[in-house]
Chains A and B, each alone.
Chain A
Amino acid sequence: MAAPLTLLLIVAVTIRAALFRSSLAELIAERVEVVSPITAWKRVVEGLALLDLGVSPYSGDVFHETPLIIYMFHFLVDYAEITFMTFVFGALCVCICFFFIYLSLMPFQFRKQKFALEADRYPMDSLELIRSPKEMYYVPLKVAMFYLLNPFTILSCVAKSTCGLNNAVLALFFLSTIKGNVLLSAIFLCLATYQSIYPITLCAPAMLYFMQRQYIPVNFHRVSFWWFIVQYLFMYLGSLFVLICLSFFLLGSWDYLPSVYGFILSVPDLTPNIGLFWYFFAEMFEHFRLFFLCVFQINVFFYTIPLSIKLKEHPVFLIFMQLAVISIFKSYPTVGDVALYLAFLPVWSHLHRFLRNIFLVSCVLLACSALFPVLWHLWIYAGSANSNFYYAITLLFNVAQILLVSDYFYAFLRREHHLTNGLYLKRKDGSEATLILK
């Protein structure tokens, strides 16, 4: 286990270092799929330059990172190599965190299911669905590989997108949640929220996970349930308050609030990206703009409630679903966000037998990834295509992502159904039954 992991790390670092040294690095850093107006390294450097000129970075509309990030880089930026290393570390950290998540996650999940089996809760023929420790042995390695060797992650890292940092904070949040550290979990979640509002929806799975772990029943009539929620929210909101005040004292003004969060929520920058917002709001009629803006933003947050109700027994899968929903429907998505939830896929390798259209979806995702630069070139440089071409590809890419996520959700629900009802279902007359959603 250690040897292949070391090899993997060496390969991953080599690829990144080679790309970083090559002339491709600048090209990658300009790609709209890889960097968004929030995460672009060029804009961070611009913010630093503004800071050096004595101008507030938030007085303009180029820099949209949070004050903590700018002051952190302000100390680091004199040493280009160190900055590069931080990004490599960012990527590695994410990988390692995943690794730990899984390490800690595995015995827990396994133990729970084993216990349930012994209690005769599961039918005997669903034993097939429960993974043996031998199968699960290589899953951490697969997760690491999926994240580290994913071209999306590599591109994002070489472009020095600050998305890597956000991913690292999120991974630390997963790790501390799985490890059962309530305070750290709240702090890391608050950091992630502070960076880009959307992770606030991860509050729900974190709380569900802790309650499951501490055997607190999810019941609205119990005091212990509410007490825990109040505790967690207090830690979460408290640290958010501290962070926001810290930023205020670092900067000396509240300018950053509209410039960071207003920018995320009101989508003034229509630079093309892989998301759904840019072309929609470029073509929007002015008097409907606010309405659709609200609809699209509520859409991101809204899924939290039904998903938490449906998946209250499975907070880890809920985290995955939330991450996927955020990265599909957020206002400035990049491939780095996609890579984060893709890294979860090996964890759900036991669902593969229930996936319906994984082949089609993965083909579409691959084809779209190849077509992004081609159509961009045709539109922007060659002038032989127009914006609709690029827009069509973003649509297709998002449809494929939606299909992928809903397919995994379907497979997960189906497996749960089989775990309780047995794998080989029979009709009343004894013939083989087919499951349908009703």
Chain B
Amino acid sequence: MVGLVGRLWNLQYKSIVKEASGKTLAVAKFFCVLHVTNTYLCTFALAYGPSMVPTFNLTGDMYLAERLSIKFGKVGPGDVVLLRSPESPRKVMVKRLLGLESHSITYVVDPMKSDRCDTIVVPKGHVWVEGDNIYNSRDSRQFGPVPYGLLEGKVFCKVTTFLSLAHLMLNFDAVNCTSSLSQPKNKRRQSLYNFNCYIWIAEQSRKAQSSWIKIEMDERQCKTYIWPPKEFGSLMKSGMKDPDL
């Protein structure tokens, strides 16, 4: 009697274990495929910060970056690239590629203070990257040419997803902004806020009087700063920077 109950219980247990392991294996296989696609084909990236204004928003945008062109060496000046920071190995940053190896780059050393330019020849195996917002960007002008092996992807498309909105909510702490993410009643007013924000930042940068802290404080006035979906689309090479500069 006990033996029969024991065998029945074993049978039930075995089938549960078998089903659980089968389902786990299926999930593991799915994640493997997702991971391989992420590493070798195409990946999402969330970029925030002031260094690529106005191409990318201050508070964060989500992009698709593909990895194949890096592996085949088909990047050129003018491309927006994802690269691992040479100063902080755990950080990945987004900048615009301005020069490949043996290109001669002329750059403005410190646009906040003076108009002094400097020219450098990019050494072998390295690239020169700069942010579009040269007034507030930590790039090759500070840490020098970056080895090509640090490039991780080439950004080709901006996307709107609910995910990016969620990240936007989280990143409000990063910019010290206390506004809520409520939808404005008037969508036109919302995009006007964004537009005004961009113009304000650009103007302040040009006047060379702004600092990162000041931008943060005035962000609070842009209460409904929601990234507009109408900017969906591929990023053209002809961005803000003249690659031949």
State yes or no: do A and B come from one complex. no
Query: Which of A's residues lie within 8 Å of B, judged by CB?
Result: none
